[in-house]
Amino acid sequence: MTVEVSSLKELVEQASGTSGSPDTQEYFVNMGPQHPSTHGVLRLVLKLDGERVLRCIPVLGYIHRSIEKISEHMNYMNCVHLTDRMDYLSSIMNNWAVAKAVEEAAGIEVNDRIRYIRTIFAELERIQSHQLWWGVLGMDLGAFTPFLYGIRDREVLNDVMEETIGARLTMNYVLPGGLMADIHPNFVNRVKEFIKYFRPKLDEYDDLLTNNVIIQERLRNVGVLSAQTAVQYGATGPVLRGSGVAFDLRKDHPYGVYDQVDFEVPVGTVGDSWDRYWVRVEEMRQSLRIVEQLLDNIPPGDFLVKKLNSKIKLPEGRYYSQLETARGILGVFITSDKKDEPYRLHYRSPNFNNLWCLEPMIKGDYIASLIGAMSSLDLVIPDIDR
Amino acid sequence: MNLISTPLLAQADPASAGAAPSMERVPTVSERAAEALQHGIWGAAFYIVIGLVAVLIVVSVLGLVMSYIERKVAGHFQCRLGPMRVGPHGILQSLADGIKLLFKEGIEPGHGDKVIFIGAPIFSITATILLLAIVPVAPGIQVVDMNVGVVYIAAVSGIGVMGILMGGWSSDNKWSLLGAMRAGAQMISYEISLTIAILVVVMFSGTLRVSEIIESQQQGWWIWRGHGVAIVAFCLYLIASTAELNRTPFDLPEGESELTGGYHTEYSGLRFSFFFLAEFANLFVFSALATTFFLGGWLPFHIGDYEGFNRVMDILPPVISPLFWFGIKCTALIFLLMWFRWTFPRLRMDQLMRLEWKVLLPFGFANLILAATVVLTGLYFFPTAT
Amino acid sequence: MATTTPDQADTESPPMDFGDLKSQCVAPRPSIMGRRRSLSGILWLSFKGILRGLLTTLSYFRRPSTVVTQQYPENRDTLQMFERYRGRLSLIHNEDGEHGCTGCQICERLCPNGSIIVTKDKKNEATGKPALDQFIWRQDTCTFCNICVLVCPFDTLEMTGDFESSVYDRRLLVFNLNEYAGPTADQLEKLGDEELAKAQMKPMNKYHGPVPMCGGELDGIPKLDTGKSDDA
C-alpha cells in the first residue's frame, strides 16, 4: 500500500478511516519523546501494522535551544562554547568547525602545534563517541553489558582529555586562533597508555558483540540504505560510508594534519546496519592509528596565536566551512556584516540529515529493526534540534 | 493447589506404595494431609496450611534473594559492584526495594479494563505458585507429588502467559499490548519444545511422577546416561525455558529498549512486584525442574561403580545432603541463565519464531524419536541393576 | 527483510559513480550469514562467537579486581580531581589575602551569558585609581567555558576542582569572589604604607550585592549573611 500524504494530520485521518483489511487495523504509536531507545527527546510517530512499521515520521523541536539565534549576539569566541551543546559527543570537533570557519574567513594561520593537537583531540573524541555508540547499540539490541564496557573504556579516555581540558563533556577546547589550553605535560604518556589499554579492548568488543551471531542477524539486511538514497538525503559520515560511498572529508578535503598521516577509511558495501556497525568499529582502530602517528611528533609552539582573540572581525561576506565529526559533516555557514558578531550563523548538522534516512531505511520492517537501524545511525538529538 | 492434589493423591497413594522404589519413601506434605484426613479434618488442614505457607514463604524469599543475586551477578559481569548501600554489601537492598514497592501507589490506567488489570499479576503469580508445589527439593520436601507430575507441569506452566496477556491487554497501552502479544506467541511456541525436551526424560525413566524420575537416576543422571540424546534435550530445555522465562536473549515481551517495558509498562507498586516475584520464582522453578529431570534432583554426584568416589560424595548427613546437592545444581543452572542474560543481545520476533518452529521443534521431534530408539534398544549407559 | 521501497528500487538503475576517496579502503567485513557459507561453517562460527562472548563476560566476573566502580562518598579522602578541572571559578588571593583584580571587566564583557558581574570603585581614595568593588560570579548560570580564565590579562582567575556545589537554594550559587573590596596586591604594595593598605581592604559580605536573586529574603530561608568566605 503506497499512500502519499503530506501532513501528519492527513495521515491520522487516513488511519482512523477504514484503511486496510477489515480484520486488521493500522495504528499509531508515539515512540518518544520519552523512550529508552530514542536517546533523548526524539519523537517518532510510527504507523504500524502489527509490528511492521509503515510510516515513521520524526517530530523535532523538543530540545531546540536556538543556538544559532543566540550566536548572533555573541562574538566568535563565545559562539564556540555553544557548539559543545549540539553534538555533545563530538564537542571538540564542533568547536573546531567554528574555529576553522572563522580562521578561514579572517585569514588567521594557526601554527603546526595547534593543528597537531586539534587533530589528536578530534580523533580521541571520535573514539570516545564511537565507544559510547557501541555500548548503546548493544543496549538497544538488548545486551546491557556492552553498554557498561563501552562506558568504562570511555571513562579512561575521558580522564585523559579531562586532564588537559578540565571538562568531560562540554569541553570548549578549540577556539578561533588556537586552543583553550596547552596540552598537559602528562598528556602524551597517558594517551599512549590508553592506546595500549584500548587495543585489546577492541578485540574484546569483537568477541562480545561483533562476532555474536545474534547481533549480526539483528543488523544484517536491516535498514538498508542504498548509496543513491544516502546521497539524496544528504547523509554523511559512517552512515554514508556504510552505504558504500567512499567520502570522508579527512581524506578528500584534508584539514588539520590529516594529509600527513596514514590511515584508511572503512567503506561498506550493502548499506545495511551491519555495514554501518563495522564501519564505526573499524574507525576506532583507524583513529588509534592516527593518534599514534601524531603523538610523538607534536611540534613546539604557542597554543594560541593571539592572546586576546575576542575582537575577531570577519570581512563582510558569506563563509562556509566543514569538517568531519564522529557522525558526519558539520558545516558552519557564517554571514558576516563586518562586526565581531555573526549576522547569521548556521550549522549544517550531520544528525539532521542522517535522521531522515530512517524512514526509507525501515519502511515495512519490524519495530525491533527500527531500533537496530536507529542505533546504527548513531543519532544525537540535541544536534538535530540545536 | 490442594484442590487439584488431594483427589489425585487418593488414587496415587496405593500406586506409589506398590512401586516400592529402592529408596525409602518419605511422604510429601500433601500425602501427609491425605493421611491425616482419615483421622480428622484438622490434621489435614494443618498440613495444608503448612504447604501453603511454605510455598508463599518460598516465593517471597526467592524474590528477595534472587533479585539480590541477579543484581550482584550482573554487577560483577559488568565490572560494577552491584548494590552496596543498604546493609553490608547491599544485602538488604531487595528488602528495601520490597518495602518501597509496598508503599508505592498502584496506578491504574484511566481507560484500562480494571478487573483484568488487577487480576493479571495475580494470575501470573498463581501459575508460579502452582508450579512451585511440584518442585521436589528433597525427599518429603515437596508439596504435591502427583502421578501425572509432568503433565501437570506442562499444563500449569501455560497459565503464566495468561497473566501476561491479560496485563498487556488491559493496560490500554499499545506498547503493553505489543509486549503481551509477543509474550503470547513466544511462550506458547516454546512450551512445545520445553515439553518435548522433558518427554525424553519421561521416556527414559518410564514415569510421569517427578520423585520417581529422580529415583530413576540413582545409577547416574539422565544427562550422562542418556548421552547425546539427553544432552540435546537438555540444551533444548535450557533454550526453551529461557524463552518461557522471558529472559534475554528472549526478553521480547519486556523488550525494554523496544517496548519500554512491554506488558508491565503500566504496572506499579505491589502489582508490579507480583510480576517481578513471579519472574524470579519462575527462574527458580525452571532451574529446579531441569535439575530434577536431567541432573538427578537431590541425588549426589556419583560415577557409576567407583565406590570410593561415591562414598566421598555421600559424606554429608542424609538430611542435609539432598538439600545441598539440589541447591548446588539449582544455583549452577540459575547462574547459567543469568550469565546468558548478561551476555547476549535480544532476538527479533521473526527470528525467535524461526528458531522455534524451524530449528528447535524439528530438532526436538527428531531427538524424541531418537530417544525412543535409544530406550527401546537399551543403548543408554549404566543400565539399572534390574 | 525490508520490503522494497521506491528508494531502494532506484538502486537497480545504473549506479552513480561514488567513491572518489583518495586512498585504499578497509576491506568489507561480511557477517557470519552475510556471505555464502556452508551450514557447518555458519554453525561453527555462531557457536564460536557465542562462546567467546560468554567467556568475555565470565573473565570479568572471575576477577573482582576489574571492577571500576568508585564508591564516591567513601572515597572522598582519596579522590583527586585533575588540577585543571573546571569546578568553580575563584579569584586568586595571595598569602596576604590580596587579589590581583583591577576590575577591568574584560571577563564580564566576554562572559557568554553574563555570569560575571564586576563592579568597581571609580577612584580609590588611597591609590587614586579604579579598584575592584565586587566580583560576582553566578555559578547557577555559568557554563564553565573557561573563557574568563583565558582572557584575564592579570591571570588572577582560575578554575578549581571543587565539584561538590549542590545546594538546595539557588541563591547560594551566587558568589562574591573577592574577599575584600579594594585595590590589587600590586597597588597596595606601591602605597608603601602597611597601615594604609590594610585600611583599603574592606571586608566583603559574601552574598551581598546587586544580584537580583541574591541577598533577598525568601519564605523560610533566612537572609544570607556570612561575612567570611567559607568556600575554601
Distances (CA, A) of B187 to A344, B166, B242, C161: 58, 14, 10, 54
C-alpha distance from B347 to closest chain A C-alpha (Å): 6
Pairwise pLDDT comparison (B159 vs C7), residue with the higher score? B159
Overall average pLDDT of the B226-231 stretch: 80
Q: Closest partner residue to C61 among B77, B84, B340, by Cβ?
A: B77
pLDDT score for C130: 81
A249 and A332, same domain (yes or no): yes
pLDDT > 70? residue C143: yes
Supply the pLDDT for residue C229: 44
CB of C40 within 8 Å of a chain A CB? The answer is no
3-class DSSP state of B138? strand
Pairing of the two strands A265-266 and A317-325: unpaired
User: How many Å apart are CA B224 and CA B203, to the nearest integer?
Assistant: 15
CA distances from A82 to A75, B267, C112, C191 (A): 12, 41, 9, 44
Residue B81 at interface with chain A, using a CB cutoff of 8 Å: no
Enumerate the residues of chain A whose CB falls inside 8 A of the CB of residue B256: 36, 142
Please indicate if any CB of chain B lies within 8 Å of the CB of A218: yes
Closest alpha carbon within chain C to A173: C145
Task: Give chain A's domain count.
Answer: 2
- CB A166 to CB C82 under 8 A? yes
Residue A12 has what pLDDT? 62
How does pLDDT run across A34-65, given as a tens digit for each residue? Answer: 888 888 788 888 888 888 888 888 888 888 88
Query: What's the rounded Cα separation, in Å, for the pair B237 and A164?
Result: 55
CB contact under 8 A, A164 and C84: yes
Report the residue of chain C nearest A221, measured CA to CA. C1
Grid cell, residue C18, equals 561514488
Mean pLDDT score, C81-110: 84
CB A162 within 8 A of CB A181: no
Contact C57 B84 (CB under 8 A): no
Q: What is the CATH number of the domain that holds A248?
A: 1.10.645.10
pLDDT above 70 for B16: no
Same domain, A189 and A51: no
pLDDT at position C11 is 45
Boundary residue ending a domain (A59, A82, A97): A59
A148 — contact with chain B (CB < 8 Å)?
Answer: yes
The three grid cell numbers given for residue B7, joined into one nine-digit string: 483427589
Sheet holding A52-59, edge to edge: A27-31, A43-49, A52-59
Which pLDDT belongs to residue C15? 47
Is A82 within a domain?
Answer: yes
By mean pLDDT, which of A1-15, A281-295, B248-262, C93-107 is the weakest? A1-15
Positive or negative, the Cα torsion across C55, C58, C64, C69?
positive
Query: Which chains have at least 3 CB atom pairs separated by less than 8 Å from chain C?
Result: A, B
pLDDT, greater one: A224 or B39 = A224
> CB-based contact (8 Å) between A211 and chain B?
no
- Per the document, the length of chain C is 232
Are A198 and A228 members of one domain? yes
Instruction: Judge whether A165 lies within some domain.
Output: yes
Residue of B68, B66, B70 lying closest to B88 (CA atoms): B68
Backbone angles phi, psi at C164, to 5 degrees: -90, 80
Pick B339's closest partner by Cβ from C54, C67, C69: C54
Q: Which residue has the cell 508450579?
A: B131
Judged by average pLDDT, the poorest of A186-200, B174-188, C34-48 is: C34-48
**Domain residue limits, chain B:** 2-84+111-377
C31 in contact with chain A, both atoms CB, cutoff 8 A: yes
**Cα–Cα dist B112/B50, whole Å:** 38
Instruction: Find the closest chain B residue to C74 by CA distance.
Output: B85
CA distance C9 to chain A (A): 9
Q: Check whether residue A215 and residue A286 sit in a common domain.
A: yes
Assess whether A73 and A116 both reside in one domain.
Answer: yes
Distance from CA of C42 to the nearest CA of B (A): 14
| Alpha carbons A172 and A162: distance in angstroms, whole number | 12
* Distance from the A216 Cα atom to the nearest Cα atom in chain C, whole angstroms: 6
Selecting from C2, C19, C56 the residue whose C-beta is nearest the C-beta of A362 gives C2
pLDDT at position C228 over 70: no
Residue in C2, C28, C52 nearest the CB of A211? C52
A240-275 pLDDT tens trace: 888 888 888 888 888 888 888 888 888 888 888 888
Domain end among A42, A59, A76: A59
More reliable by pLDDT, B248 or A293: A293
Sign of the CA dihedral A305, A310, A312, A317?
A: positive
Same domain, A45 and A94: no
Does C17 score more than 80 pLDDT?
no
Reported as a pLDDT band with limits 50, 70 and 90, residue A11 is low
- Answer yes or no: do B248 and A142 touch at CB < 8 A: yes
Average pLDDT over residues B192-221: 83
Shared-domain flag, residues A18 and A97 = no
User: Is B343 in Cβ contact with C54 (below 8 Å)?
Assistant: yes
Percent of chain B past pLDDT 90, that is, above it, reads: 1
A1: in domain: no
Distance CA A256, CA A279 (A): 22
Return the higher-pLDDT residue of A305 and A57. A57
Confidence of residue A309 (pLDDT cuts 50, 70, 90): low
Mutate to test the interface with B, among A31, A51, A136, A375 (most CBs of B within 10 A): A51
Residue B32 above 50 pLDDT?
A: yes
CA distance B224 to B291: 13
pLDDT of residue A4: 55
Q: Is the pLDDT of residue C37 over 70?
A: yes
pLDDT tens across B297-341, in order? Answer: 777 777 666 677 777 777 777 777 788 888 888 889 999 988 988
User: Over 60: is that where the pLDDT of C213 sits?
Assistant: no
State how beta strands A328-336 and A342-348 pair: antiparallel
The verdict on A168 and A310 lying in the same domain is yes
Residues 35 through 54 of chain C touching chain B, CB cutoff 8 Å: 50, 53-54
SS3 of residue C216 by DSSP:
coil
The predicted pLDDT at position C20 comes to 57
For residue B159, give Cα distances in angstroms to A121, A150, B144: 58, 40, 18
pLDDT value of residue C94? 82
- Residue A123's pLDDT band, with cuts at 50, 70 and 90, is very high
Q: Give the chain C residue whose CA is nearest to the CA of B82.
A: C69
B76: contact with A, CB 8 A cutoff: no
Q: Which of A131-135, A214-218, B303-307, C28-32 has the highest mean pLDDT?
A: A131-135
Confidence of residue A130 (pLDDT cuts 50, 70, 90): very high
Looking at residue A127, what is its pLDDT?
A: 92
Q: Which numeric CATH code is attached to C89-212?
A: 3.30.70.3270
Q: What is the pLDDT of residues C161-179, one digit of tens each?
A: 888 878 777 777 777 787 7
Q: How much is the average pLDDT of C213-220?
A: 46
Is pLDDT of C227 > 60? no
pLDDT bin (cut points 50, 70, 90) of residue B43 is confident
Chains with 3+ CB–CB pairs under 8 A to A are B, C
Q: What percent of chain A has pLDDT over 90?
A: 12
Q: Are A42 and A190 in a shared domain?
A: no
C25-26 vs A265-266, strand pairing mode? parallel
ipTM: 0.82
Q: What is the mean pLDDT of chain A?
A: 85
Decide if C15 and A167 are in contact by the 8 Å CB cutoff.
no
Same domain, yes or no, for A37 and A153? no
Q: Which chain B positions have a beta carbon within 8 Å of C53's beta carbon?
A: 343-344
* Buried b / exposed e along A51-90 (16+ C-beta atoms within 10 A): bbbbbbbbebebbeeebbeebeebbbbbbbbbbbbbbbbb
Contacts of A348 (CB under 8 A, 6+ apart): A322, A329, A330, A331, A332, A333
Same domain, A148 and A25: no
Domain span including residue A216: 67-385
* Per-residue model confidence (pLDDT) at position A333: 92
Whether A53 and A138 map to the same domain: the answer is no
Rounded to an integer, the average pLDDT of B86-98 is: 87
